[in-house]
Structure 1
């Protein structure tokens, strides 16, 4: 579970509600310096059904119109975003080093059994390509093309949420303009004391649009981008590892080369036999 995302969204909601319900005043030179008031009824000032329909309905309509095939996959995207890190590069490095050791002792054909054990279809495909004795250039071309096409599909999904992030404030402004036009149309002979409440209703749609864009759509797009980067990194490691195995590279040198794909902290935690054994025990629990 992506706990950090949930904590961030919860804090955003909490601080927003705190700002609406609570009022803290600062009065330098006076005693008491701080004044604190609690008014839960203020929440009703931010509830307007018409504004919700304009912003939420309009934004979703634009997203569906721009991405009709992807819009039906909202639940799938949320599930991907909420899951914990599914692609751990250190685990792939270990597996590739193990495959290199097997290939060096028993040949490439001995890797077929390991390929059938893989749950990652890309990893399985990569192993089978060298087991079938394909040309190295062809193997690299097939795998790199797979990575590019997969990343392109992921970026299209991210673009859908970025479109929603751009559309939400726009519909917030549209709702505000609608409210202002209606208010000005009835201004002649109206009670001047009602101008304040009418103006606040007109501005609620701007609040909804900004909230929807920066608390809902933007975090989803950012998290899906991070998931794509994790998957691409692991697949690049697989490609380099598979090509090295096919060329008969030394397993120890292979480990050091694949570790260069990760940051320094991951390298320090992922190099050495003791660290490898510790990760195996952790996976076995």
Structure 2
């Protein structure tokens, strides 16, 4: 993994992983008379190797190539500049109201969000608002499905790891049963310890790394979806030639209302509520209320 600038480093990821590993190591050192018994290389190979093998069987290579990119995402701090996007939409609305298409083209060149640029370009090209809405919603759906699939890979791996940990435990128990013929309790205890540490490896790998990675990717997707729906609302009002002040206030209200939805575990709920509000409260009625 390439070095990440400190300002872009997501400290919570590093703190979480380091803290978890330190606590586990300290627990082993403080509780075990021989900490070396927790080092089980065959069990580690079974858990890691089996998890990777099962993942390759479950997913095509094209999807697995995205896993490395997704894993790098969790180490970076991602800002979602909602205020900046709102100001850019308002600026374009002002220029559009004065018919300054050339100035809009210059403003688009400074916009970093490709989703917003596409929407503004469609408005300038006088594409019907319904067609713009359908196209941009399709892009949101496509992005959500793609990133959900990347997170799902890690969730599947989190399911595989404990299962292979149990498989390693069964192998260790077989060795323990064979050692019982000699009635050597020291050998029996050693084999039992090796068997149980394999399950421990699977549980730690699943719950300290793989599941948290999946959750972090899903939360990032939720934030991006919320921002894209906000932009979609702004593009829709641009196409309807709403006033800049109305656009600003509406988008600020949108962000305030859906800020808590970032923490919701269901992306489908966000989409359903946005679509319901679009139907129940048309833009003309909201403008009259203001």
TM-score by length of 2: 0.81
Structural mapping, 1:10-21, within 5 Å? 10-21=18-29
Q: Which residue of 2 aligns with 1:164?
A: 157
Q: Which residue of 1 aligns with 2:220?
A: 227
Q: Which residue of 2 aligns with 1:142?
A: 135
Offset at residue 168 of structure 1 (A): 0.5
Whole-angstrom CA distance in 1 between matches of 2:164 and 2:25: 22
Q: 2:17 aligns with which of 6, 9, 29?
A: 9
Q: State whether residues 126 and 143 of structure 1, in contact with CA within 8 Å, keep that contact through their aligned partners in structure 2.
A: yes
- Is 1:152–2:145 an aligned residue pair? yes
Q: Unmatched 5+ residue regions in structure 1?
A: 24-37, 268-285
Q: Give the secondary structure class of the aligned counterpart of 1:7.
A: helix
Whole-angstrom CA distance in 1 between matches of 2:117 and 2:258: 28
- Is 1:119–2:112 an aligned residue pair? yes
Larger radius of gyration: 1
Give structure 1 regions of 4+ aligned residues with deviation exceeding 3 angstroms: 107-110, 263-267
Q: Unmatched 5+ residue regions in structure 2?
A: 1-8, 261-290
Q: Which residue of 2 aligns with 1:257?
A: 250
TM-score by length of 1: 0.82
Q: State whether residues 59 and 167 of structure 1, in contact with CA within 8 Å, keep that contact through their aligned partners in structure 2.
A: yes
Q: Which residue of 1 aligns with 2:271?
A: none
Offset at residue 202 of structure 1 (A): 0.6
Pairs aligned (count) = 251
Q: State whether residues 87 and 234 of structure 1, in contact with CA within 8 Å, keep that contact through their aligned partners in structure 2.
A: yes
Offset at residue 213 of structure 1 (A): 0.2
Q: State whether residues 172 and 210 of structure 1, in contact with CA within 8 Å, keep that contact through their aligned partners in structure 2.
A: yes
Q: 1:66 aligns with which of 58, 63, 71?
A: 58
Larger helix percent: 2
Whole-angstrom CA distance in 1 between matches of 2:208 and 2:113: 33
